[in-house]
Amino acid sequence: MTQPIVSDKLLSADQRAILDIVLDQIIPPDPAREKPSAADVGVFEYIAERNPTSYEEIGRQLDELDERATSTYDQRYVELTRELQDSALNSLREQDPRFLFGLSLQAVECYYLDGRVMTAIGLPPRAPYPDGYSVHRGDLTLLDPVRERGEIWRRT
């Protein structure tokens, strides 16, 4: 994947620091299996390339997480211990299960594109095409009713 030019205007420095912590909470590293965390696979760049408009909502939610930490623990989110960070995030997710849902989905999408992750789970670090996977031939007679119906569209 090529690295896009990522604008610093997508998230503030504080939001970026919170984002890295949250990504580590979504998918933490697993050194025993040589699996990186979600923060280590370029999720920020992945989202910036594919859906940069989502950063407005992600930034709002990261600010909400920071405000929750400040009001509950009298410390900013980045200053909390990992246990308190987990508690703050889980508290918001319990109140609103959709909290950072889009970020979680995009993090997982990006995570499984990383070659280190693919190798760690026992798959070759390549796209399935052009080498492909073996596909069993199916029973194409199931398409006979569709073929018998004939053309159902207008020719131009």
Is the pLDDT at 93 greater than 60? The verdict is yes
Where residue 156 falls among pLDDT bands split at 50, 70, 90? confident
Asked if 29 contacts 69 with a C-beta cutoff of 8 angstroms, the reply is no
Residue 30's DSSP bridge partners are 35
How much is the pLDDT for 26? 95
Whole-angstrom Cα distance, residue 40 to residue 28? 10
For 114-155, what is each residue's pLDDT tens digit?
A: 999 999 988 888 877 777 667 677 778 888 898 899 888 888
Q: Has residue 8 got a pLDDT over 60?
A: no
The pLDDT, as a whole number, for residue 7 is 55
Domain boundaries, the chain: 13-128
Rounded (5°) CA angle 87-110-96: 35
Once rounded to an integer, what is the mean pLDDT over residues 98-113? 92
Q: What is the pLDDT of residues 67-87, one digit of tens each?
A: 999 999 999 999 999 999 999
More confident residue, 5 or 89: 89
Determine the straight-line distance between the first and last CA of the chain, rounded to whole angstroms: 39
**What pLDDT is attached to residue 135?**
66
CB 44 within 8 A of CB 111: no
What pLDDT shows up at residue 4?
44
pTM: 0.74
- Rounded to 5 degrees, φ, ψ at 35 are -105, 130
Whole-angstrom Cα distance, residue 18 to residue 26? 12
pLDDT digits over 27-53, tens only?
A: 999 999 889 999 999 999 999 898 888
